[in-house]
Chains A and B, each alone.
Chain A
Amino acid sequence: MAKNSNLLTAEGLDRSKIQIRSSVASNNWQRFVVGILTICSLVSIATTIGIVTILLLESSKFFGTHQVELLGQEQEVDVNVGEFITSSQWNLDAITGDKVEYGIRGLVIGTLKITVVAMFVALPLGLITAVYLSEYASQRKRAIIKPVLEILAGIPTVVLGFFALKFITPYVLPLFGEFKSTNSASAGIAVGILCIPLVTSLAEDALRAVPKSLREGAYGLGSTRLEVTWKVVVPAALSGIISAFLLALSRAVGETMVVALAAGTSVNSSLDIRESAQTMTGSIVHTIQSENISPGDLSYYSMYVVAMTLFLITFGITLIGQIIRLRYREIYQ
């Protein structure tokens, strides 16, 4: 340590400069530090408890009787769970309409549509890139592609949203047909692009964890590199690859800024990717900026109901991913 460097003098160790603390004081100090560190770690527990309780409490207030202004008249609206699950119409901007509609199905279908497009982009490309980096690439090519993927992973999602809205939609999609100015295809492609680095890095870790002896065994039997890769290495790393896929899936479901910019705001249950769509995350952003909402409004609570649905879906996916990773992980010596 730098502060102790002048302890050694010509006469030997200068003992007057050494500070000795009693072990009782040290132990008490340690207890104090451990207390503080425990409080730090409780913050993350409190966050989880906070998310779950707040979402439960506030979204339970969504269901019940609300005073809503319809066509300029105060009316009572009975919001029930059945219609929330089965109906596909979503319209809480009650001043313009003659009735309030609150079916989550349209939002779920919108989310699903964009997620499917994103997965069609991210999973094959991400997996093949991971296979390439782990099995084929030379050191030099790896040193180029890895940093590029890291830069891609660090790009803010709002930038990718801008890219989808102002580049993919006007310049790329017209090559494939007629798309609306806001559509789920461009949003899905952009979400897929931001998932590629995630899939690649996790899948590559899983592939690299497969021991060399397995590959060498397969080569010894006369396999080509392609056969070694797809018949030996990928199956051996399958649990890691699937959990990478699931993580990308939950990331795509929860992605907000890209869909808020590029997917549009119309809630519909059409499966056409050329149409615009609204996702669950998009509806939260749309609600919070559409009017001056305050606690107690129907649309205020609607954000929590949507967030609750979103949280349940992503939490479920993350949980399944962790179970798969822990249970089906092959441990090699």
Chain B
Amino acid sequence: MKKHSANQKREGRRKLFNTSFSVISLLVASLAIVVLVMLISSIFVTGGGALSFSFLTHDYVETQDDPAAAGSGVKQAVIGTTILCLICGAVALPIGIGTAIFLEEFKPRKKIFRFFHSFIQLNINNLAGVPSVVYGMLGLTAFVYMFSVFGRVEVDKPAKIEAGISYSYQVKTLANTWVTLPCTDKTVQKLIPTELPPGTIAMDQDGNEFELRVLAAGAARPTDPVEKQRTIKSNALISQISAKKPYYFRLPFGKSVLAAALTLALVILPIVIIAAQEAIRAVPGSLREAAFGMGTTRWQMIRETVLPSATPGIMTGAILSMSRAIGEAAPILVIMGAIKADAYTNLMEKTTTMPVLIYGMASHSNNGYEPLAAAAIIILLVVLLLINSFAVFFRYRAEKKYKLA
């Protein structure tokens, strides 16, 4: 009798544990919802007030007073992120999808090539686990300084190999107008007026060319206003200026948009490859066999059957990896630095991006930037949400179109 009640007690305890764990696990699983709600609501409470259309269209303003009153915005960062991610996608997506096709569809029979294949696969899995800041170090050496093969990168000094840039010298005349002199040797930063060859041709702001005169030390200043505009002092400062075209290009890349985009492309490459591989693997083998049965080569089979039916999956993976690229900050921070106000000019210059700007504003000594950082986060999250729901929608529509048995 006693034994029986002990058994009943144990039975009751087991049932109690069972029900209590099902409640606990539900609570723990709901914690994810609580955290997400807390995260989003705290950001909306902080940044909702700073959010406006003009926030999107104004440049970032550095100030010690209230930045919201100064009209600080995120325009440069939005443009910078867009351009950076477009280049990154243009590099990473073709390479990643190509690698996935190679790994999934061209499996070799020879042992040595099989080894090579599985080595690439293992390598990609390992690359996916490398911290993104380490990629930043790779990009710093390989893209920014290019192993110092092309000489050192120095601020405001011409690079050894460059295109799309023209140099000239600028000097102030006696009449306080600016004239430009042609540049023959780009490595010379400054010219000395007394060492100018006689008969140097200069050009004023209106495009008139004339012979530049140098006023000897102690000589009387000319009185004629035209003459004044064509004469410079013997100790005038003749400094080099440069005009860069939109396609300006140089080696090494330096701390530039291009270097950052290439680094970012390497960061998302493993993600693109793994997603595309899964999409290709999901294509049923019967489709391949049907194509082979019609006498196609392997590549024809891939192009006509595998790729069309794998496209939805590949595109979904591509979009999701792009959303990873948009939110990535660490490698960009290592390549271009924690800059906040640099707008995009050309591929060889720095520009700020949304995550880097958010980092800069969140760690700013002026606490007035806190609502602005939260507002920038809201914009970033909304964009990411739109992109991700576009991916889901795209997959849904494409699945309906290429319905496979």
Using a CB–CB cutoff of 8 Å, the interface residues on chain A facing chain B are: 1, 23, 26-27, 29-30, 33-34, 36-38, 40-41, 43-45, 47-48, 50-51, 54-55, 58, 124-125, 128-129, 131-133, 136-137, 141, 144-145, 148-149, 151-152, 154-163, 165-167, 171, 193, 196-197, 200, 224-227, 247, 250-251, 253-257, 260-261, 281, 284-285, 288-289, 294-295, 303-304, 307, 310-311, 314-315, 317-319, 322
Beta-carbon contact of B129 and A43 below 8 Å? no
Contact with A along B98-127 (1 / 0, CB 8 A): 110111001000000000000110111111
Are B126 and A318 in contact (CB-based, < 8 A)? yes
Residues of chain B within 8 A of A162, CB atoms compared: 43, 358, 362, 373-374, 377
- Please name all residues of chain B whose beta carbon is closer than 8 Å to the beta carbon of A26 when the two chains form the complex: 297, 299-300
Q: With A151-B385, A155-B384 given, can you name 19 additional A-B contacts, CB distance below 8 Å?
A: A34-B106, A44-B120, A44-B127, A48-B127, A54-B142, A136-B22, A144-B33, A145-B33, A154-B324, A154-B384, A154-B388, A162-B43, A163-B43, A166-B362, A227-B18, A253-B131, A257-B329, A284-B136, A314-B134
Whether B330 contacts A156 by the Cβ 8 Å rule is no
Main SS class of interface, A: helix
Chain B stretch 354-380: residues in CB contact (< 8 A) with chain A: 355, 358-359, 362-363, 370, 373-374, 377, 380
**Which listed residue (B36, B106, B133, B377) contacts A256, Cβ 8 A?**
B133
Taking Cβ atoms with an 8 Å cutoff, the residues of B that contact A are 14-15, 17-18, 21-22, 24-26, 28-33, 35-36, 38-39, 42-43, 46, 94-96, 98-99, 101-103, 106, 119-120, 122-127, 129-138, 140-142, 145, 148, 152, 266, 269-270, 273, 297-300, 304, 320, 323-324, 326-330, 333-334, 337-338, 355, 358-359, 362-363, 370, 373-374, 377, 380-381, 384-385, 388
B152 and A163 form a contact (CB under 8 A): no
A159/B95 in contact, CB under 8 A: no
Q: CB within 8 A of B299: which of A30, A141, A171, A260?
A: A30
Closest to B137 in A: A307
- The smallest C-beta distance from A157 to any residue of chain B, in angstroms, reads 7
**Cα separation A44 to B326 with both chains bound (whole Å):** 21
Give which listed residue, A30, A40, A141, A318, contacts B298 with CB less than 8 A.
Answer: A30
In the complex, chain B residues whose CB is within 8 Å of the CB of A247: 129
Which among A41, A227, A260, A284 has the greatest number of chain B C-beta atoms within 10 A?
Answer: A41
Determine the distance from Cα of A201 to Cα of B97 in the docked complex, in whole angstroms.
Answer: 24
Residues on the A chain within 8 Å of B334, using CB? 284-285, 288
